[in-house]
Amino acid sequence: MATKKMILDLDTGVDDALALAYAVADPNVDLIGIISSYGNTLVETAAQNSLNLLHLLGADDVPVFIGASHSSTTNNFEVMPISQLIHGKNGVGEITLETSPRQVETQSAIDFLIESAHQYKENLIFIPTGPLTNLAAAIEKDNDVATLIGNTTLMGGALTVPGNVTPFTEANIHQDPEAADFAFVHQQNLTMVGLDVTLRTLLTKKETAAWRTLGTLAGEKFADLMDFYIDAYANLNINKNGAALHDPLAVAVGIDPSYVTSIGLAMRVTYDKESGDYGRTIGDKEKLLVPTTTKAAVLVDSKRFVHDFQNLMLNVLQ
């Protein structure tokens, strides 16, 4: 088994499903668990989607834990209509998946993350691809989490490009800006993989057609869910050239940071609703001269990444 252990924190929609498949496929990491979050869908739906996708890929040994069901400052959560249009009402492009024989774990996601941080330390890679509510909660419960995890690579934020919810704000950060700010301030060895780079990594129906030619159920299902996503991008005029590989890129960078060019930058998130830039990810001007382990990805070798992603998918979908 690989020395590096990985935990995914997924609000399992379409690109989360691809991130899950990437983590299962890459031999350089051992996927030890998935934490469920809210965002693209409800937390319970996200958890069941993850279980069902793991079952489809023959990875029933990976446990799934229930995380936060809403942000740190609200009492409930409702899926945004735009999220349902992009990911489908069931979160996975309206495809039907066989129900996994495995149930969600009874242990809390927060406790699982804390225990894993203490057990694996620098060998643990943590990849949140939704809001940062679970990470912030773990740090608040056990401050050591902030320094124990060897590598936290998140998908979220926008530093050099506009957001996709507001002119400043990316969707994952928008779900819980307060938790995101807390995580940026406290978590060590953190890399932000935001819209700056993910929007440059596009998948097309040329790649999904190759998945179908495998003649497997997994190939067919993943092609169906990704084609739904590609069509949504085109129909909503997000991008007619293909759909962005947001969450898989975060997984890839967590394993191999050389896919991107990053800058060291202490980050903050604006969460004053009266500020006009609520949810903005921006450098902390008070810490511009202070050494930091926080990085923001600003460029990506998209050709290399899409090529490697496709090869891994063709392998795991066989």
CATH number, domain 4-316? 3.90.245.10
Distance CA 8, CA 10 (A): 6
Supply the pTM of this predicted model.
Answer: 0.97
Is the pLDDT at 252 greater than 90? The verdict is yes
Is-contact 13 86, C-beta < 8 A?
Answer: yes
Cα 309 to Cα 25, 63, 70, 305: the distances in Å are 10, 24, 31, 6
Q: What is the pLDDT of residues 54-80, one digit of tens each?
A: 999 999 999 999 999 999 999 999 999
Mean pLDDT of 26-30: 98
Is the pLDDT at 3 greater than 90? The verdict is yes
Distance of CA 313 to the CA centre of its chain: 17
**Can you give the residue ranges of every domain in the chain?**
4-316
Q: Name the band, by pLDDT with cuts 50, 70 and 90, for residue 276.
A: confident
Q: What is the pLDDT of residues 4-25, one digit of tens each?
A: 999 999 999 999 999 999 999 9
Is the pLDDT at 263 greater than 90? The verdict is yes
Is the pLDDT at 107 greater than 90? The verdict is yes
Mean pLDDT of 44-61: 98
Q: What is the pLDDT of residues 225-239, one digit of tens each?
A: 999 999 999 999 999
Q: Which among 189, 154, 188 is positioned nearest to 281, based on CA atoms?
A: 154
Percent of the chain with pLDDT over 70: 100
For residue 127, the surrounding DSSP H or E stretch is: strand 124-128
Q: Which among 127, 151, 7, 5 is positioned nearest to 65, based on CA atoms?
A: 7
Instruction: Return the pLDDT at 237.
Output: 95
Q: What sign does the dihedral 95-76-170-252 (CA atoms) show?
A: negative
Q: Which among 143, 169, 149 is positioned nearest to 158, based on CA atoms?
A: 169
Count of beta carbons in the 10 Å neighbourhood of residue 278: 18
Q: Which among 123, 103, 124, 102 is positioned nearest to 113, based on CA atoms?
A: 124
Q: Name the band, by pLDDT with cuts 50, 70 and 90, for residue 284.
A: very high
Q: What is the mean pLDDT of the chain?
A: 97
Query: What are the residue ranges of helices labelled H in the chain?
Result: 14-25, 43-56, 81-87, 109-120, 133-141, 145-148, 171-175, 177-186, 195-198, 205-212, 217-235, 246-255, 302-316
HSE, side-chain direction, 13 A CA sphere, residue 85: 10
Q: State the greatest distance between any 2 C-alpha atoms of the chain, in Å, as a whole number.
A: 56
CA–CA–CA angle 258, 262, 268 (5° rounding): 140
Instruction: Return the pLDDT at 274.
Output: 83
Q: Name the band, by pLDDT with cuts 50, 70 and 90, for residue 1.
A: confident
Distance CA 57, CA 161 (A): 35
Percent of the chain with pLDDT over 90: 98
Instruction: Return the pLDDT at 137.
Output: 98
Instruction: Return the pLDDT at 167.
Output: 94
